[in-house]
């Protein structure tokens, strides 16, 4: 589970559903856009699916890399 300060543990692997729910909850609580750590996913398509959830990230607002079997993701929202 997330820390009480809305941070996702660096070693946590999220499902698309979990990432989408976290993103929507955080976005609803904040009006200022900033880079946020969004956890690890199983592949780039899962990270992209979370990026497209409301509020959608546009060009340049998603960063991810492939680290073995994980895709760490950061999103600007």
Contacts of 69 (CB under 8 A, 6+ apart): 42
The pTM for the full model equals 0.69
CA 18 to chain centre: 9
The per-residue pLDDT for range 21-37, each reduced to its tens digit, is: 999 888 888 778 899 99
pLDDT at 6: 63
Percent of the chain with pLDDT over 90: 61
Residue 40 pLDDT class (50, 70, 90 cuts): very high
pLDDT at 26: 85
Structure tokens at 51: 């990026």
pLDDT at 16: 96
Angle at 42 between CA 37 and CA 33, to 5 degrees: 25
């Amino acid at each position: 589970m997330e820390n009480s300060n809305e941070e996702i543990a660096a070693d946590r692997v999220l499902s698309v559903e979990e990432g989408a729910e976290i993103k929507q909850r955080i976005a609803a609580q904040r009006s200022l856009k900033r880079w946020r750590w969004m956890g690890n996913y199983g592949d780039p398509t899962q990270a992209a699916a979370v990026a497209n959830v409301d509020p959608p990230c546009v060009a340049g607002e998603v960063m991810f890399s492939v680290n073995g079997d994980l895709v760490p993701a950061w999103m600007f929202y």
